Every structure is written in C-alpha cells, then in structure tokens.
Amino acid sequence: MNSDMGLTRSAHGNEHEWHVDAPITARLTWDYEPRSPRTLSLIERARAAQWSAKSDVDWSTEVEFGAPLPNDSTFSMSSFESSPFARRGRESWDLYRWEFQSWMISQFLHGEQGALVAAARLVEMLPDLENKQLAVSQVVDEARHVEVFSRYLREKVPEPYPISDSLSTLLGDILSDSRWDVTALGMQIMVEALAMAAFRMANTTFHDDLIRDITRLVARDEARHVSFGVLSLKELYTELTDAERREREEVVLDAAQLMRRRFLLEDIWDRIDVTRSDGMHYALTDPLMIAYRQAIFAKIVSALSQIGLLTERVRDGMSQMNLLGFSANRRVLAAR
C-alpha cells in the first residue's frame, strides 16, 4: 500500500514487540456544531451497548480443548474425506477443527490489537469531533476485545498461535499509511467486516459455549465499527478523483489478497504435521473452504458497495480470487 512503511522490531530485540512508523497529522477543530444525526445515533448506541469482559462472560464455563467432537454435516465429512489428513482416521478431523478454532481466536486477538491502535490513530486524524467521539468509543471496544480474547487463550487454549505473516503484513500496511481514510478503509471495511462475519458464524465453526458467547458479544460491537467506517467514508468517496479511486482500489485488492492467503491456514498445517503444499492446496480447492471464505468476504463486499468502492475492477479482482459467490454457497454453509 504505502511505500513509506517503516516496520521494525523492538530496539531491544524483543520478538514480542513490533514498531510501525507512520507520518500522521493530528487534527483539531473549533467547530462544535453537530452535523450528522446518524453518527450521533451510533455514539449513543455504543454508550448503551457496553459490556464487561469480566462480569458479562461466564469464565467458569469448561472448555475441553481437544475433546472428541460430534460429526459434522455430510458435506463437512466429505471435506474431511478429501483432506490430506483423512488417512489418519476420524480423530485427525477433530484435531484439525480444534486447531482451526485456536488459530482463528489467536488471529482475532492480534487483529483486535491492530484495530485498537488504528482506532486510536483515527481519534487524532479524523477532521470532525463527532467522528472523533465515535472513534473513542471504538478504542474502548477494541481494548475490551483484546482483554477477552487474550484471557480466553491464556486460560482455555494450550498453545495459541503467533500472528500470521499475511495478517502482520496487512496490519503494517494499514498502520503505516498517513491517510486517515486508508486506515479506516483497511481496518473498518476490510478487517472488521470480515471479523464480524466470522464471529456471526461462530455457532457452526467453534466448539465450546464460552467462545460462542464471547464472539456473540464482540460481533455486536463490530457491527457498529463497520457502520462507522461506512458513514465516515461514503460521502468522501463520492469526491475522489480517478487517480485517488484507483489507489483505494489497490488498497482493497492488496488487502483481499493477503486475507485470502491467510485463510490457506499455513500455520495450522505445520502444527498438525501436514506439508504446507498439501494443506494449502486443500484449503484453496476444497468446496467447504471456498464457501467459508466467500461467506466471510460477503460482509466486505456489502460494505464496499455502500461506500461506492465495489467498482468493476475490484469486483473482477475479487472474482479472480474466488471470493465472490456467497449466495450460491449459502445452503452449503447452512448444512454444515
């Protein structure tokens, strides 16, 4: 996205610390007149919908990580039978499903920290007070999401995953760009819309009541964040020049490519002793995996359409990545 990206490790060599340098401009305004009733409504909704990661989640719920799981649908079991680990027996399918959950929640956690930083940056960079106030409410939400996912992983998952290479690259791109609208586009339209879709599919993809309850609460917040992105960008993007629009199309297509690669699940294959080439080929070509990617990208497609950025070029690019076609696969996922 941005050729000026500055990405470094900690100066002290701490592998858990990551620095992204970006030239940004803090903007203040002395105009306090309310302008957008819809933005004010979102602010009020955010205030009314706050919840506590400590008291609104039942942490006594047991998570029997790695326990045998019930059979999936016929379609899902067909996916298992064509997988590179089917020859190891039915237990290998349960292992894969638990590792997929662990990997997903780990990436949610890393992405939520990126969203926390991005929202804080928007507080500085947005041009008007109403949107700054809405960004502040998102900062509070994202801090709570980091708290709840990190606790779940610490207490319930034996071996969480580090951030995936593709998500790391995507967050670096988003956070190193000096344009506030690109930060909002990358985080609220691309990352947050995909996360919201994944949270809402938790009942069919995750295997314990605790994480299903957590993702239900988080999905409520993410819906507001996507609406925030749409509100803040919709009018602005009607005024883009052709060159500016093309740059934003590149942002979308680059992000989509990274997110698609992320769901080829490279890290999981290493963990369950499947060669990356075999595992990634399975993830790329298996009908269930394709349907899942199309389902979670459907929210991105909807948000892009609302801000006027689902252009012919973007649609063609996403079609070539096989990320469109959710309507055709809706029944497939419902059967899962």
Q: From CA 324, how far away is CA 254, in angstroms rounded?
A: 16
- 301 has a pLDDT exceeding 70: yes
User: Rounded to an integer, what is the distance from CA 314 to the centroid of its chain?
Assistant: 19
Give the separation between CA 288 and CA 333, rounded to whole angstroms: 8
Q: Are 318 and 260 in contact (CB under 8 A)?
A: no
Q: Alpha-carbon distance 130 to 233, whole Å?
A: 14
CA distance 118 to 139: 9
What is the pTM (predicted TM-score) of this model? Answer: 0.90
Tokens matching residue 112: 């939520």
The region of weakest confidence among 70-79, 135-144, 206-215 is: 70-79
Helix 90-125 and helix 192-200, axial crossing angle in degrees, nearest 10 = 140
Residue from 243, 242, 279, 249 nearest 264 by CA: 279
Reference 295, options 152, 222, 194; nearest CA is 194
291-302: burial string, b at 16+ Cβ within 10 Å, e else: bbbbbbbbbbbb
Residues 15-41: pLDDT tens digits? 678 888 888 888 888 888 888 888 889
| pLDDT above 60: residue 4 | no
Tens digit of pLDDT for each residue in 145-202?
Answer: 999 999 999 999 999 999 999 999 999 999 999 999 999 999 999 999 999 999 999 8
Measure CA of the first residue to CA of the last residue in the chain; give whole Å: 36
